[in-house]
Structure 1
Amino acid sequence: MANPLQHRKPAADAGAPPHTPADRPYRLGILGGTFDPPHVGHLALARLCIEHLALDELVWIPTGQSWQKGADVTPAADRLAMTELAAAALQASGAKVRVSRMEVDRAGPSYTIDTVRQLRDEYGPEASLCWLMGADQLLRLHTWHGWQKLFEHVHLCTATRPRFELAALEGPVLEALAERQADTQLIQCTPSGRMWIDQTLAVDLSSTHLRQRLATGQPADDQLPPGVAHYIASHGLYRDARAGA
């Protein structure tokens, strides 16, 4: 008999869950970030991980209070709205795609460890949970609150940028990679604890650079998901250059 926890979904999810074969765990990809703004690099990362990790579901989670970036962040309501527009571009990707308010609605700073603990409780002990990140996040992983405990709840799956070198990683992260690196097949069939790095994604784009372009009036529609450019223009976002990652 299949373990009922294997297919459990959060109560907040709308609609019927996709069918999952009884002989493998449910596969959830988690794309978290400030999304200030979401851009085509985020879409490329999502599509790559949906394909290579054979995800059943992808959840985007905009940060609520970004404790590492201070107050100089676009209001959460705007970032949530832009993330929903970006996620809509993935609806035909083969995975269920949704946007979660869990960090926006949570009081206090948004710590990834709190988010993955909540998702593990919701999806059960057997589901394969993958935290998706770009190379910039991997380089700062050692600065995250409780980062080493993340492996108790999720896999860490990274797509690097062009010219990225693994040797640039801080010692503790490089040690974790040496111990935990795995292929996609192992990621797909185990709950957590592994690292996977893809070095084929040829997208070199950051939200910081994009904000700077928008602030100086340079065209950036080709770097934004459908609808996001219109939202930015209609709400007057990024009129002044701001610092931050």
Structure 2
Amino acid sequence: MAHSQQAAKPAPAGSADRPYRLGILGGTFDPPHIGHLALAQLCIDHLALDELVWIPTGQSWQKSADVTPAADRFAMTELAAAALAGTPAKIRVSRMEVDRAGPSYTIDSVRQLRAEYGPQASLCWLMGADQLLRLHTWHGWQELFEHVHLCTATRPRFELSALEGPVLKALAERQADTHLIQCTPSGRMWIDQMLAVDLSSTSLRQRLAAGEPADDQLPAGVAHYIASHGLYRDPSGKA
């Protein structure tokens, strides 16, 4: 089962012939769904990750104030991560953003992880197409490449031409195959266009608020947590 990390631990070392490979899956996870699991599994397989860390956002500076409390989102993320038990990668959930004061910025998290894992480890920030479309709005987004690779799985019907100019330019300069991602510390972009999962937490919340079933889109533990804690119910009493 996935476990949370309370404090930094000594960075694991890679072997003599390759660096240690860490995948980082950050997000609000409001709620975490099967799309997140599919992205995680895809990257574990294609990038041969040694470890995958989930990082639930503490204070999301780009989203509205009605985000579900961090304690609930963290608990749901642990339940979602546990569904990856049995994969080759070590799975854990980090409290670094939940416990950090102030707005949660990705750049702060990747700086911390780079310091913990050292200059040689291959660090990959995993994201969906919706995050890639907004990448140019992230605080300090261009500095991310100094610390991590950016690895994206697109949705069906997603077109790279939809990217804003600065992101499209970065992709043209930095796009690489999985082998280069695995063997270098940071600075590259990898895009997988084969993952056929078109799902968003926003649409899930809307379904749940309307009282519509959504268990087919949620890990079983997350679905049970939502039901038992009464999350996402419409305040009008419909759900």
TM-score by length of 2: 0.93
**8 A contact 1:181–1:196 mirrored in 2:** yes
CA distance in 1, matches of 2:38, 2:177: 20
After superposition, what is the alpha-carbon deviation per residue over 1:160-204, rounded to whole angstroms, capped at 9, x for unaligned?
A: 000000000000000000000000000000000000000000000
2:169 paired with 1:165: no
* Number of residue pairs the alignment of both structures matches: 231
Cα offset for 1:21? 2.5
2:21 corresponding residue in structure 1: 27
**Aligned-residue RMSD, C-alpha:** 1.8
Counterpart pick for 2:176 among 182, 194, 207 = 182
CA distance in 1, matches of 2:141, 2:64: 19
2:35 paired with 1:41: yes
CA distance in 2, matches of 1:138, 1:102: 22
Which ranges in structure 2 are unaligned for 5 or more consecutive residues?
none
Letter in 2 for 1:177: L
Counterpart pick for 1:94 among 82, 88, 94 = 88
**8 A contact 1:10–1:122 mirrored in 2:** no
Cα offset for 1:91? 1.4
After superposition, what is the alpha-carbon deviation per residue over 1:136-177, rounded to whole angstroms, capped at 9, x for unaligned?
A: 000000000000000000000000000000000000000000
Corresponding residue SS for 2:206 = helix
1:81 corresponding residue in structure 2: 75
Counterpart pick for 1:218 among 212, 226, 229 = 212
CA distance in 2, matches of 1:11, 1:219: 38
CA distance in 1, matches of 2:121, 2:28: 25
2:227 paired with 1:228: no
CA distance in 2, matches of 1:168, 1:216: 31
Cα offset for 1:11? 5.5
CA distance in 2, matches of 1:96, 1:210: 28
- Percent identity, aligned pairs only, is 87
Counterpart pick for 2:198 among 198, 204, 208 = 204
Corresponding residue SS for 1:227 = helix
Cα offset for 1:72? 1.4
CA distance in 2, matches of 1:221, 1:88: 17
Letter in 2 for 1:41: G
**8 A contact 2:9–2:116 mirrored in 1:** no
CA distance in 1, matches of 2:154, 2:179: 19
1:108 corresponding residue in structure 2: 102
Cα offset for 1:23? 1.3
Letter in 2 for 1:161: R
Cα offset for 1:93? 1.1
